[in-house]
Amino acid sequence: MSQSKGKISAKDETLAKVLKLAPWLAFVVASVPAPLLFLILFLTATATDSAAVYLLFAGLSLALGLVLGLVLVLILTIYRRRWLSRLRDKLAADGITADEVVWFEPELTSAERQSLGEIKRSNPLLADAYLETIAARLTASRIISRSRRELLRVERRINRVRGLNAADSAPLLEDLASDRQGLERIRQTAGEHLVKANTRLQMIEATASRNMDQAETEMMMQRLSAAQDQLPLVLEMAHLEQQALREAEKPIGDVEYQEQTPGPNQ
């Protein structure tokens, strides 16, 4: 995983790299050493009975090692996903920056990942703007999701307070209603920012695509112009070659005709 600047620490980056390799290392360590040891003992055994026992142990240890390795891979993969989820929550606590988008790749759409790769190859400056806009889109999406969860909690609290029918519940209901209005405003504002971010993403994608199409079109036009410029020259060379062949064949034909035609004295 690429390194990123910002709130992430060197310890988190190192742990992320270790967790990325840990499942496969655990699978190899769990499934290879024991069968390999019994296989070596089998090859070096002098007695037939001992060789058969070592071969049996090699097969059994291989089967058990594969099962254990798969279990370890599953456990470490689940742990890595949860750890990365907590890390993303930590990074998004005060807003997502462009340098931190690499850690939020699972939250990107397939179209965004494809467009980002194409824009990075064609125009690095547009890629920076695209990353900034993706960071804004991710931040707005997380704010909307969080505000929705909080709204559900507030609604449940309001329903519970109303169900109590307590005489002194009016102030609490007013506070909860105020909280609901504040969360609605936050969600609405984040929704507006989300629309703006999505619109800007489309604009950047259109600009990058337009530039790439223009570059490809110009290259095709250059090749077409070069081909058209070369075509008359090729045709002229072919015409001159045919004319030279006709002129070279003409004297030969005249000489043969004169040799075959009898003279007046004959």
Looking at residue 254, its pLDDT comes to 53
Looking at residue 141, its pLDDT comes to 93
Cα separations in angstroms, 258 against 148, 254, 255, 266? 107, 6, 5, 13
Write out pLDDT tens, residues 205-260: 888 877 655 555 556 555 645 555 555 555 566 666 777 776 766 655 554 545 55
Write out pLDDT tens, residues 165-211: 777 778 888 888 899 999 999 999 999 999 999 999 999 888 887 76
Looking at residue 257, its pLDDT comes to 47
* C-alpha count within 13 angstroms, C-beta hemisphere, residue 123: 19
Cα-atom radius of gyration of the chain, to the nearest Å?
39
Q: Give percent of the chain above pLDDT 90.
A: 35
pTM value?
0.67
